[in-house]
Amino acid sequence: MKKDKPRILEKRRSTSPGGKSASRVAGQQTAQEILSQPATWLETARLFEQNAELDKTFVKLSPDEPWLFVACGSSYYLSRTIAAQWAKLLRVACTAVPASEFLFAPDEVLRRSDARQVVLVSRSGKTTEVLRAAEWLKANTAVRTLGVTCSNDSVLQDLCTHVLKLPWADEKSMVMTRSFTSILLLFERLGAKFVGDSELVSALDALPEKTVAWLAANADKIRAFGTKRRYADFVFLGQGAHYWLAQEAALKMTEMSSSYAQSYHTLEFRHGPKSIASRDTLITFFLSDAAAQEESLLVGELKKLGASIFVVANRATPALRRDADLLIELGLDEPEYARLALATIPAQLLGLAVGLRKGLNPDVPKNLTRAVVLGSKNGAAAKRRSA
Ligand code: F1P
């Protein structure tokens, strides 16, 4: 899989928040984690296929019953992405809620989702709201709970009936990149196995190798584009499952560059938010197979309004080449289901480039911590059901 390592970092010493010059180059950790995704995906697939533990776990979970995912931040957008894909693939009710939404109306959320199996996703395994949700479920229900974490030893795993650990996919950086795409691919693989779609499994198997080539061809283009000029704010647009990639992209941009970023369902952008379109707004489109034609018309409209446009599409068209300031093709023959992990990477690279351009260190974003751990006084945990 060896290819020239893409250059996505300008050499610049980082200053840690305390102003002391840190020993590392700013953003170096995040850049390494972004570029390590193909190898991390291979490791995830290898361990999934070899691991009888996984088979045992998943034999107790049913593809024919409704699923509820509970998570926070990037892990919530990851859960939404998985749920959107599984609802289509498994043809069963799959939904995701932020842990805080669950905590203040647990009975209502469970009733609405009709779920008997709940997946709690937390890279750190420490996020207080997720742990409180797991505690409530354990104390008040008989649902099966699957904890998904990159931590080898977390409170989450003690609270759940089953646990999936991906320590090799964890980051040292604050922001989630390879943990997001590795967990996404693990569940995509599981979904494909649930429905016995061997073609989909093969499509997922092909992704790491193709991503190495894609990174070599595109990573530096995105770095250069994110570095060459300043933008006042950022918009990310996506349809269907891509809407949740747009949400994650906006969070990445905000976390890595402390920039103002919004996300919308692509065609919703016409219904009001379009008023912000200007040269200083960078609008990124994640084109979907189902709506690509309509989405491309909107690209042209916004270009005419003078907006700066970045398009992530599987295949270019003459109109997209004409209208996009940067057009990045995934160029895969695989079905859209197997392309989402790769489609996640452009915004990771863009956020890194913009953060570095602003003189920040995306490895340690200001105001943030790797996990949100709340004191006992923060927010009332869901009350136990009265006996
Ligand atoms: C969830 C999360 C991250 C976010 C930041 C704070 O963490 O909200 O998504 O980027 O790191 O924590 P986790 O529950 O997945 O560990």
Beta-carbon contacts of 46 under 8 Å, excluding residues fewer than 6 positions away, are none
Single-letter amino acid code for the residue at 70: V
Q: What is the crossing angle of helices 241-257 and 73-90, to 10°?
A: 170
Backbone angles phi and psi of 386, in degrees to 5 = -65, 145
CA Rg, the chain, in Å? Answer: 21
* CATH topology classification for 28-196: Rossmann fold (3.40.50)
pTM assigned to the model: 0.93
The per-residue pLDDT for 144 is 94
**The pairing of beta strand 281-286 with beta strand 261-265:** unpaired
Q: For a substitution probing ligand 1, which of 164, 176, 374 has the most ligand atoms within 8 Å of its CB? A: 176
Q: 176: which 2 tokens?
A: 């989630």
Sequence length of the chain is 387
Three-state secondary structure readout of 259-296: CCEEEEEHHHHHCCHHHHCCCCEEEEEECCCCCHHHHH
* CATH topology classification for 208-357: Rossmann fold (3.40.50)
Expressed in angstroms and rounded, the spacing between residue 121 Cα and the centre of ligand 1 is 10
Average pLDDT per 10 consecutive residues for the chain, totaling 387 residues: 65 50 78 98 91 72 94 98 96 97 97 96 97 97 96 94 94 97 96 93 96 98 97 97 98 97 98 95 97 97 97 97 98 96 98 97 92 76 58
Per-residue pLDDT tens digits for 342-355: 999 999 999 999 99
The answer to whether the CB of 169 falls within 8 A of the CB of 150 is yes
CATH 3.40.50.10490 placement within the chain: 28-196, 208-357
The ligand 1 site (C-beta within 6 Å) comprises 72-75, 122-124, 127, 130, 174-176, 255, 368, 370-372
Give the position, in ligand 1's atom list, of the atom nearest the Cα of 74: 9
Give the position, in ligand 1's atom list, of the atom nearest the Cα of 255: 10
Give all strands (DSSP E) within the chain, no chain letters: 13-15, 21-25, 67-71, 94-98, 117-121, 144-149, 162-165, 233-238, 261-265, 281-286, 308-313, 326-329
For residue 44, the tally of other CB atoms under 10 A from its CB is: 23
Q: 251: which 2 tokens?
A: 């969070």
